[in-house]
Amino acid sequence: MAADIPSDHRISRRISTGRIDLNVRETGSGPLMLFFHGITANSAVFTPMMAKLSSRFTTIAVDQRGHGLSDKPGSGYEASDYADDIAALIRTLDRGPAILVGHSLGSRNSVTAAARYPELVRSVVAMDFTPYIETEVFDALEARVNAGNQLFPDVKAVETYLAGRYPNIPVDAIKIRAESGYERVDGGLRPLASPEAMAQTAKGLRADLTPAYREVTRPVLIVRGQESKLVSAAALAKTSQLRPDLPVVVVPGADHYVNEVAPEITLRAIVNFIDA
């Protein structure tokens, strides 16, 4: 069990899908809306957004495989593995087609799931992950991911590390990451995300995403932070050339972590897309 986690981030349960057990956080009522975090993160990063949407939707944020308190198998970290988890979860929940909201890794997985299982997906909000991301960007991402496998003496040390790694994420959002994403071990705190799983996942992110974007038939909203270092303006332009029918929102002043850096603008974009 993760240490020093406040009660509002601890409210979660595990769901057995038949292929994997996933830890989720759930609130609200209405149509099903699922949230999928980025690499090394966990479902808690979406709790502020879920609170704003829970009056209209059943909001469920998921610890994806290898992350948080979900199962961490030794292999199976390609896009298809994550997408099959999403499909299995929707079938297990049995609440009709779902709106998928994904950030980064979660965005890749959500679009892939929608392409593979259109009958299970109502629409997708794909935040800051597209095809055509440059090789050097993935090189830098892998280096950051591998550097996060550290032992920290306490939560304050985790917060200091995360604030340096994510300089634009507000203090409250950094606290959520620090308080929900680590477990007490001998000598301090380590990330809940499995380092082996993170290494495999980071490599898997390099796979060509154009087939999924070409094949997806469900509505997809592409959201990019204007200052994103992951999705360049060139990558976004190429994606729009591939699928000119997909709407795009570029959030001014936000970097890759658009839902945490600019939550109100991101929330408004999501609601406008769903209502349209």
60-96 residue pLDDT tens: 999 999 999 999 999 999 999 999 999 999 999 999 8
What pLDDT is attached to residue 96? 84
The reported pLDDT for the residue numbered 148 is: 86
pLDDT > 60? residue 2: no
Helix (H) or strand (E) holding 203, with range, is helix 195-204
Q: Which of 63, 128, 194, 255 is catalytic?
A: 128
104 catalytic per annotation: yes
Confirm whether 275 is a catalytic residue: no
Give residue 5's pLDDT: 38
Q: Average pLDDT of the chain?
A: 95
pTM equals 0.95
Per domain, the residue ranges of the chain are: 7-275
The answer, yes or no, to whether residue 204 has pLDDT greater than 70, is: yes
CATH superfamily of 7-275: Alpha/Beta hydrolase fold, catalytic domain (3.40.50.1820)
Active-site residue, from 70, 104, 123, 228: 104
